[in-house]
Chain A
Amino acid sequence: MTLREAAEKLGLKPVAGLSRLSREFGQGYVSDLLSDVMANAKPGDIWVTLQIHQNIIAVATLKELAGIILISGRQPEKQTLAKAEEEQVPLLLSDLPAFEVVGQLYQMGITGRR
Chain B
Amino acid sequence: MAKLSIEDLKKIKESVRAAVTLREGGYRARVNVHMGTCGLAAGARAIMTAVLDEIQKRDTKDVVVVTSGCAGLCNREPMITVERMGEPPVKYVDLTPDKMRQIFSEHVLEGKIVEKYALAIGSETTF
Q: Which of B2-10, B38-46, B84-92, B108-116 contacts A (4 or more CB under 8 A)?
A: B38-46
Q: Closest residue to A62 on the B side, CB-wise?
A: B74
Residue among B40, B41, B75 with most chain A CB within 10 A: B41
Q: Which of A18-26, A35-43, A92-100 contacts B (4 or more CB under 8 A)?
A: A35-43
Interface of chain A: mostly helix, strand, loop or mixed: helix
- The CA of A42 and the CA of B42, in the complex, are separated in Å by 12
- The CA of A63 and the CA of B74, in the complex, are separated in Å by 8
- The CA of A35 and the CA of B74, in the complex, are separated in Å by 12
A62 proximity list for chain B (CB < 8 A): 38, 74
Check if B41 sits within 8 Å of A43, measured CB to CB.
Answer: no
A38 proximity list for chain B (CB < 8 A): 37-38, 41-42, 74
Per-residue contact bits, chain B 42-75, to A (CB 8 Å; 1 contact, 0 not): 1100000000000000000000000000000011
Q: Closest residue to A36 on the B side, CB-wise?
A: B41
A43 proximity list for chain B (CB < 8 A): 75
CB distance from B99 to the nearest CB of A (A): 15
CB distance from B48 to the nearest CB of A (A): 15
CB distance from B22 to the nearest CB of A (A): 38
Q: Closest residue to B40 on the A side, CB-wise?
A: A35
- The CA of A38 and the CA of B41, in the complex, are separated in Å by 6
Check if A63 sits within 8 Å of B43, measured CB to CB.
Answer: no
Q: Closest residue to A58 on the B side, CB-wise?
A: B37
Check if A39 sits within 8 Å of B75, measured CB to CB.
Answer: no
Check if B41 sits within 8 Å of A63, measured CB to CB.
Answer: no
Interface residues of A in 28-79 (CB under 8 A from B): 34-36, 38-39, 42-43, 62-63
**Please, could you name 19 A-B residue pairs with CB atoms under 8 Å apart, sorted by A?**
A34-B41, A35-B40, A35-B41, A36-B41, A38-B37, A38-B38, A38-B41, A38-B42, A38-B74, A39-B41, A39-B42, A39-B43, A39-B77, A42-B75, A43-B75, A62-B38, A62-B74, A63-B74, A63-B75
Give the interface of A toward B (CB within 8 A). Answer: 34-36, 38-39, 42-43, 62-63
- Name the 5 nearest CB pairs between A and B, nearest first: A38-B41, A35-B41, A39-B42, A39-B41, A38-B38
